Amino acid sequence: MMSDTKNENRRKDDARPAGALTWTDPAPAAAHLGGVMIDIETMGTTPGSAILSIGAVMFGPSGLGETFYAPIALASCTAAGLTIDPDTVAWWMKQSDAARAAAFRDDAQHLAVVLARFMCWLELMEAEHPWCHGANFDAPLLEAAYRACGMTPPWKFWNVRDTRTLYELAHVKVDRARGVHHTALDDALAQAEAAVVALQRLQNLRNQAAPVLPEQVQAKPVAWLEAEPSAGGRPAHEVAWSMLYSSRIHTKCAPMTSNPVWPLYDHPAAPSAAAPAAEEVRNQALEEVVRLIDKKVEDYDREHGSYDHTTGVTEYPGDGAEWVQEMDELADEIRAMKRAASTHGGARDE
């Protein structure tokens, strides 16, 4: 008999003793769970094989949601043209009694009825992406069963997602210790729980990634700061020095965790100054030449000049006065060149 059940992990009201203070917690906003983990038990491994049961659970990064389970009458599958593989029959004989009891049930329903109700359930749950433990098994076999019953599969092929790839990316393994392995709903729950962990890890990497500075493009983290979930969104330095959050440093590799993690880098060297513009270099050179000329004139004046207080003129031996005048005029010409360049925005003559 088909049953639409609530996930056992759903929140329950707190039990409070008589006479204790009471309060009403606001109901948390339900997060939309767009993923649906699907698992089927079958009598073959290729599209067109008979299906014994369908198990499914809604899930997302925030956790698990509603579940679906339905056993299917084997006779209705063969009547629809679906086949039974002898090797799979032999494989079933090696499975546990609990798994066989769940797969072959007296209260199983007609294939077309189960497929129709599963389609309605998916629509009611607003399922967006069907997930399977291998995109080339559960979804293709279900699609073949829908077509065998004259129905259109309830999803587009491009929306199907594969858990094997997700688990590998996030370094997650499925824990099948709970429930009965090779029972459709128990397998779907185990796979969905692992997918939640994987999605949280990948989401954490996106959310907690430190902004990459230009000087860190080629750098690698030297350590990773991990903290409790309540520290999420805080700056790394605040978390590291705060007494409010429990944190730890990893020095070998980034931790695989759903907790917030901040990569830590060596303090980058101060970036080298950008090369000055050509006109700026030219002006600096002109200023240096003017300073050099002025210094030479000052040195010559101090060593050879003689100031006449009567005339107010400094006198030099020989042609010294002419040399000083030439140097002053040269310095003035260079200053004029610099002012002209600044006035025209540093434009150069072609």
Q: What is the pLDDT along the chain (350 residues), one digit of tens a residue?
A: 444 444 444 333 434 333 333 333 344 444 567 899 999 999 999 999 999 999 999 999 889 999 999 999 999 999 999 999 999 999 999 999 999 999 999 999 999 999 999 999 999 999 999 999 988 999 999 999 999 999 999 999 999 999 999 999 888 999 988 889 999 999 999 999 999 999 888 877 766 555 555 544 456 777 777 888 777 777 776 666 665 667 777 777 777 777 788 787 665 544 545 555 666 766 777 787 778 788 888 888 888 888 887 887 888 888 888 888 888 887 888 788 777 766 655 444 43
What pLDDT is stored for residue 151 in this prediction?
A: 97
- Listed by start position, the domains of the chain span 35-202, 220-268, 278-343
Q: Does domain 35-202 fall into CATH 3.30.420.10?
A: yes
- b/e code 237-255 from CB counts within 10 Å (16+ = b): eebbeeeebebeeeeeeee
Q: Report d(CA 329, CA 336) in Å as an integer.
A: 11
**CA–CA distance, 319 with 107 (Å, rounded to integer):** 125
pLDDT for 305: 85
126-156: pLDDT as tens digits: 999 999 998 899 999 999 999 999 999 999 9
Q: What spatial distance separates the first Cα and last Cα of the chain, rounded to whole Å?
A: 91
Cβ–Cβ < 8 Å for 60, 34: yes
